[in-house]
Structure 1
């Protein structure tokens, strides 16, 4: 997972930092100290949170088989466009057709059994009525009438049993017909086949779970990027936030999108917690493909017309001799200077988007020597940071580093190098 705060100075006023080198005699030494400088620029600055992600379709359906058997025919392949209900594969139906025929025969047998039970019940009722009439007239024993009643009740139970068997036979036939229909694999959605996992002649077994035959993406013109955002950055994200990203397949092109949702469920890998931020992306030209790795930048904050310096100016610390001079200047009440005894810049963390705080920077004075200036820090894009403070103006030369020199040179003589940081 890659993350951080990167980039985004707008092109219209980018911090193209024209660097220069200024020579100043280091106290107590013959050879001069060469200061590399960069001018304070004014322009547009944007702060980003970065993460890595994977491109995927918005809707992906795995098409499986609900019956076991041998693949008889494949009617779709990779990249095939399919419609809902379209036949895309067939499993050998012979065994299932036989089961349907057997179930149909069992149904006919059950129907005959019901008819036989109905006839038996009708005969039992007649016998019971005759025996009851004779018993009332004392022409037969009461036991004979009771026996006829029991026979009639048994016939009623037999009819109910045969009717239940008939329903079972009907259900078995429906099941056999359904299994036969399952031998025809159809697409559940309109989309594109992005994966085919079986071949003709291969046997699939659906005893435990449905084996996957195809994977179909609903619409590749509408994609998503699932990103892993660090827990330290996830609080800055919000739905509808603008997003830019790149993929290796098109290194010179930036794609856009918006944050769809930031999911609450965390992912923990080796004690590193990340959250899934889902980015909605339009893909009209079908350049983006499922599975592509994306380097994603979330636009956290953007400011126009701000003063900015390269981050190298925040890390610069002059030699001890100049620090002593800066302290002496402070003791004499030098205007606009900050405490030279502040913690070294290299020990401080550069502020990210929505940063803030104060920091002493080093400006090249008229005498060619460093002057400490306290500034307020704003947002940063990882290369440049917004700054403000009393006396700070566009064009001021901020010291970003030193270069060693071998020949003496007059102090404060600028040497333009035409380089951009």
Structure 2
């Protein structure tokens, strides 16, 4: 059979196309490329798409328990403080004077008490002597009764002084507490979110809320 040159392309081209398709199909595919990275720990963030108001789980107003001028303010807004940390100092001159006066009054009562205890011993000895003498008819009933009354009076005065001593000691303890209150301490760990009273201002403990700073725990929000 004879093929003309015009029909030759129709006979040759299809087998060539089939061979090309087979070569492409049967060629082994290249392995997939993987992206690797070292393993490490980290935080997973989760965002909530919502509107609302965040508030600290705990907040507190830190104020003064005594009246006076803020002599030193030791923190600013944004500072982190720990529980027991001194955040401000109140002028303590009045409290120191009050403490000295209370201690002086206590010393006077202690001295009076010692003197009265010595008088009590004398009164007891006099009473015993008068009682012995009265039993021996060596003293009058009047002298005995006088010694007895003196002993009773001295004992009563000694008890009164002991009560005054307790009151004076209580007053000294109160003045010591007032002096300690001039150092304003943070009641908890937190962040200063506001400074209400500035250095040099005077606070009055008789106010309903003599606030100096405001603290809040910002690690947990609600």
**Residues in 2 aligned to 1:153 and 1:87: alpha-carbon distance in whole angstroms:** 53
Q: 1:150-165 residue pairs with structure 2 within 5 A?
A: 150-165=149-164
Question: Would the alpha carbon gap of residues 222 and 142 (structure 1) be closer, same or farther in structure 2, given more than 3 Å must change?
Answer: same
SS in 1 for 2:153: helix
Matching residue of 1:104: 103
**Residues in 1 aligned to 2:109 and 2:165: alpha-carbon distance in whole angstroms:** 5
Give the drift of 1:116: 1.0
Q: 1:165-180 residue pairs with structure 2 within 5 A?
A: 165-180=164-179
**Residues in 2 aligned to 1:153 and 1:213: alpha-carbon distance in whole angstroms:** 56
Question: Would the alpha carbon gap of residues 71 and 101 (structure 1) be closer, same or farther in structure 2, given more than 3 Å must change?
Answer: same
Matching residue of 2:219: 221
Give the drift of 1:141: 1.4
**Residues in 2 aligned to 1:156 and 1:150: alpha-carbon distance in whole angstroms:** 10
SS in 2 for 1:213: strand
Matching residue of 1:198: 197
Kindly indicate whether residue 59 of structure 2 is the aligned counterpart of residue 60 of structure 1: yes
Contact 1:66/1:210 (CA < 8 Å) preserved in 2? no
**Residues in 2 aligned to 1:52 and 1:68: alpha-carbon distance in whole angstroms:** 43
Question: Would the alpha carbon gap of residues 146 and 53 (structure 1) be closer, same or farther in structure 2, given more than 3 Å must change?
Answer: farther
Question: Which one has the bigger helix percentage?
Answer: 2
Matching residue of 1:264: none
Q: 1:129-148 residue pairs with structure 2 within 5 A?
A: 129-148=128-147
Contiguous gaps of at least 5 residues in structure 2 = 1-49
Give the drift of 1:210: 4.2
Deviations 1:35-84 (A, max 9, x none): xxxxxxxxxxxxxxxx9753210011111111000000000110110001
Matching residue of 1:76: 75
**Structure 1 ranges of 4+ moved more than 2 A:** 51-54
Q: 1:153-302 residue pairs with structure 2 within 5 A?
A: 153-218=152-217, 220-224=218-222
Deviations 1:109-131 (A, max 9, x none): 11101101101111110110111
**Residues in 1 aligned to 2:137 and 2:119: alpha-carbon distance in whole angstroms:** 27
Deviations 1:253-275 (A, max 9, x none): xxxxxxxxxxxxxxxxxxxxxxx
Determine which structure has greater relative contact order: mean sequence separation of CA pairs < 8 Å that are 6+ residues apart, divided by chain length. Answer: 2
Deviations 1:222-268 (A, max 9, x none): 101xxxxxxxxxxxxxxxxxxxxxxxxxxxxxxxxxxxxxxxxxxxx
Give the drift of 1:173: 0.8
Larger Rg: 2
> Under a length normalisation based on structure 1, what TM-score does the superposition of the two structures give?
0.40
> Under a length normalisation based on structure 2, what TM-score does the superposition of the two structures give?
0.75
SS in 2 for 1:200: coil
Give the drift of 1:169: 1.3
Give the drift of 1:221: 2.1
Q: 1:378-393 residue pairs with structure 2 within 5 A?
A: none
Question: Which one has the bigger strand percentage?
Answer: 1
SS in 2 for 1:55: coil
Matching residue of 1:397: none
**Residues in 1 aligned to 2:66 and 2:219: alpha-carbon distance in whole angstroms:** 33
Deviations 1:358-415 (A, max 9, x none): xxxxxxxxxxxxxxxxxxxxxxxxxxxxxxxxxxxxxxxxxxxxxxxxxxxxxxxxxx
